[in-house]
Structure 1
Amino acid sequence: MPARVLLFTLLFAAPLVARADDLIVLLQQRNCPDCRLVDVDLVHADLRDADLQRAQLQRANLGQARLDGADLSGADLSFTSMQGASLRGTKLHGARLYGTDLRNADLTGAMLDPNALEEAHWSGAKGMQPQAQSHAALHNAGVGAAESDRWKQAENLFGLAISKQTDAAESWVARGIAREKLGKRQLAIQDFIYASNLYAKKGATSHAGQLQTAARSLQDKVNNAQNGNGVGSALLDGLLSTSQALLPLAMKLFMPAISF
């Protein structure tokens, strides 16, 4: 193999690795823009207000790290673990968050691009701004919570999905089911009726009718319970069957929007 070709292969085909001097600079000064920190272990590191603009942090472990006020604009955080990290007020504009683990992280006040968390893992994260997540991501996360019987979380996620796309009938149905599971039956009825109207406007008369029937059935069951008719297990069975019948409408997964 010619020497020039061999050199090109070594430079460009070899995997990226962290530079030791970059890590030393970061730990001593907390400022290291454009640093190469691939695969570094920074668990529990205190990097508050650090300048890490455009840093290469692919696959780094920043679990439980303190990154409040840090500048990670344009940084590559692909497959980086930031599980449980504190990112309060962190600048993340232009950061690549493909496969990034942000579960249970604190994102309060974090500055993110619209839909920035589309390809990240953020279950249990707090302080997230709705604009950082698409309707699809929020609805799909709600479906995941519902499938795990985490109905309160599902209600919140479907509510956020609705705030992103108010005409998405599936999200209204899904939130109605979550509310029914939580015993918020009047609110569930309202969601079912609203979803029915949305389907009717789209010409989906079958879905609209199904939801109107479900709303009436649920209202009848609520009235029976309030009147003390002693329906007992029959009432419970009826409530469960209402949710089961609507699940195919609600648990639809959406493909994330692709931007170029």
Structure 2
Amino acid sequence: MLNPSRWMPLLGLWLIAIPVHAENMDDLIKVLQDGDCRNCRLADADLVHADLRDADLRDARLQRANLGEAQLDGADLSGANLSFTSLRGASLRGANLEDSVLHGTDLRNADLSGARLSPNALEEAHWQGAKGISSGIQSHAALHNAGVEASQSGRWSQAEQLFSAAILRSPEEPLSWVARGISRSEQAKDDLASQDFGYAALLFEKQGAEGWAEQLNQAADSISSRRYQQTTKEGGSGVGNQILQGTINGLRMLAPLAAKALIPLGLGL
């Protein structure tokens, strides 16, 4: 049970000063009062900075709630609906999130040290910058989608690392090799990018996708040509560079679309 001394002196002022739009105000008061509110209806609640340490929020309806920077250490959120909920910067050390719905949930910069999560729970959540995530929780799709998000923000080095991690999870998935090749090409790592595209082509060919295999082989050859042109100082405006740019632009469009097809993210990329 929560310590009333933490909230009672300010509860009345808090409810007056902050526009709260919880699904059920009685449930909101109950969870702030004693922390025992299983099955609470708290959709759309504004609980920024709330102190809910050790709170019993099992099966709570918290979709679209704002729990940014809230204190949720030791809280039981098992089975809770956290769809599109903001937990950005929240402390969830030792919290139980097993079987909770994390569709579009914002966990960026949250502390998940010791938190209990179901396998692949983060596939549809945003967790960039979160710390304390246990090894193995991040699935191939979650890592790949995080790489796509990083690449769309121009953070190519981080994207490369995320795609590399995704490849370790599922080395037979060609899309992650394509995406890493794009991120490496953007960093002028032409030899490595060419190798990624070439290997992705082999994987697509095994799957019977000969069209994609051919385009990837062309991309690999084009990057090799660019490398040669740069070495011989012939690059910059040649036909080879134009072909390369067209090919890379096509592949750049493929990776985000493929990630969405694998695991649609609620907030979009």
Shorter-chain TM range is 0.7 to 0.9
Q: Give the CA deviation at 1:136.
A: 4.1
- Contact 1:176/1:188 (<8 A) preserved: yes
Question: 2:151: which partner in 1?
Answer: 146
**Post-superposition, which runs of at least 4 consecutive aligned residues in structure 1 deviate over 6 A?**
none
Gaps of 5+ in 1: 1-14, 27-31
> Cα deviation per residue 1:39-86 (whole Å; 9 max; x = unaligned)?
443312344444444444344321111323433222332343212212
- Residue number in structure 1 paired with 2:50: 45
The answer to whether the 8 Å contact 2:106/2:127 transfers is no
Q: Taking structure 1 as reference, are residues 224 and 233 closer, same or farther at Cα in structure 2, changes over 3 Å only?
A: closer
Tell me the matched-pair count.
Answer: 235
Query: What's the counterpart of residue 256 of structure 1?
Result: 263
Q: Contact 2:123/2:139 (CA < 8 Å) preserved in 1?
A: yes
Distance 1:110 1:190 in 2: 38
- Counterpart CA distance in 2 for 1:60 and 1:248 is 33
Alpha-carbon distance between aligned partners in 2 of 1:108 and 1:224, rounded to the nearest angstrom:
49
Q: CA deviation at 1:195?
A: 0.5
Are 1:118 and 1:137, in contact at CA under 8 Å, matched by a contact in 2? Answer: yes
Per-residue CA deviations over 1:89-117 (Å, capped at 9, x if unaligned) read: 43211122244332333334432112323
Q: Over residues 110-143 of structure 1, what are the superposed CA-to-partner deviations in whole Å (9 max), with x where a residue is unaligned? A: 32112323443x1534234575455445434433
Given that 1:118 and 1:133 are in contact with CA atoms closer than 8 Å, whether structure 2 keeps it comes out as: yes
TM-score with structure 1 setting the length:
0.73
Contact 1:60 1:80 in 2 (8 A): yes
Q: Distance in 1 between matches of 2:167 and 2:26?
A: 42
Whole-Å Cα distance in 2 between the matches of residues 186 and 25 of structure 1?
Answer: 60
Is the Cα–Cα contact under 8 Å of residues 87 and 110 in structure 2 kept in the other structure? yes
Alpha-carbon separation, structure 2, partners of 1:44 and 1:187: 45
Q: How far, CA to CA, are the matches of 1:231 and 1:78 in structure 2?
A: 53
> What SS does the corresponding residue of 1:252 show, helix, strand or coil?
helix
Q: Please, what TM-score do these two structures have when normalized by structure 2? A: 0.71
- Tell me which residue corresponds to 1:21: 30
1:244 aligned onto 2:249: yes
Aligned partners of 1:51 and 1:74: how far apart in 2?
Answer: 11
Q: 1:147 deviation in Å?
A: 3.5
- Whether 1:76 aligns to 2:85 is no
Say whether the 8 Å CA contact 1:37–1:60 is kept in structure 2.
Answer: no
Q: What secondary structure does 2:208 align onto? A: coil
Which residue of the partner structure matches residue 175 of structure 2?
Answer: 170
> How many Å separate the matches in 1 of 2:204 and 2:174?
7
- State the match for 1:220 in structure 2: 225
The answer as to whether partners of 2:128 and 2:146 remain within 8 angstroms in 1 is: no
Which range moves more in the overlay, 72-81 or 175-184? 72-81
What is the CA–CA distance in structure 2 between the aligned matches of 1:22 and 1:87, rounded to whole Å?
A: 17
Cα 1:111–1:190 change in 2 (3 A) is: farther
The amino acid of 2:233's aligned partner reads G
The alignment partner of 1:78 has SS state of coil
Asked whether 1:126 is paired with 2:126, we answer no
* Structure 2 gap segments, 5+ residues each: 1-22, 265-269
Match of 1:159 in 2: 164
Distance in 1 separating the partners of 2:135 and 2:171? 13
1:182 aligns with 2:187: yes
Contact 1:37 1:58 in 2 (8 A): no
**Identity between Structure 1 and Structure 2 (%):** 50
Alignment equivalent of 2:40, drawn from 31, 36, 42 = 36
